[in-house]
Amino acid sequence: MTPNPPPSLPPAAYLVPLVVIGLVILRNARARQLKIERMWVTPAILLALTALTFVQQGPPSAASLELDAAALIVGALLGWWRGRFTRIAVDPATQALTSQTSPIGMLLILAVFALRYGLRAYAAANAGALDLPINDLTDAFLLLAVGLVCAQRLEMALRASRLLKEARAG
């Protein structure tokens, strides 16, 4: 008996992520006000939800822990890199901070989405060859996103604080 191939998604299923990506690009294309004192909120919520997700699961295997650690590290590196490419400006008169994602940062997000969909399609077609439960893969993608967001926010908060101190001193 041959296994059935995984069902393919209708083309409309790809429309929602493309619309979301388009909205994110439009939102990030213009400068937005940056409030350092609020930059910890999103990472804190993500960390709490991620911890809740992992607490509800059984103990992970060694291979799962290695995959999770690698995903978190890669996500943090990508987030730090994306944060470095985010333009942060201080208005000399009001000392208000603004941030604007660079085109490189936007391309990074597009690349992460494309990689995710490519790996998802590969995992669906080759689930037996991967020798990993699908939950381990979804956990790794979750940790990649958490690492990316947390590291980006940390890098931006550190740089924005430094720029604001320099503006106040000068």
Which tens digits make up the pLDDT trace of 23-79? 877 777 788 899 999 999 999 999 999 999 888 888 888 888 999 999 999 999 999
Distances (CA, A) of 67 to 49, 70, 109, 140, 162: 19, 5, 21, 6, 35
Residue ranges per structural domain of the chain: 16-169
What value does the CA radius of gyration of the chain take, rounded to a whole number of Å?
19
What local confidence, expressed as pLDDT, does residue 2 receive?
47
Model confidence, pTM:
0.79
Q: Is the pLDDT of residue 127 over 70?
A: no
Tell me the CA end-to-end span of the chain in Å, nearest whole number: 75
**Distance (Å, rounded) from C-alpha 140 to C-alpha 116?**
11
Out of 7-11, 15-19, 28-32, 99-103, least confident range = 7-11
Dump pLDDT digits (tens) for 73-114.
999 999 999 999 999 999 988 999 999 888 888 788 788 878
Identify any residues that bridge with 33 across adjacent strands, giving them in sequence order.
Answer: 98
Contact by Cβ (8 Å): 152, 86:
yes
The residue written with tokens 């999770």 in the block is: 68
Q: What is the DSSP letter of 132?
A: S
With CA atoms as reference, report the closest residue to 84 among 158, 141, 143, 22. 158
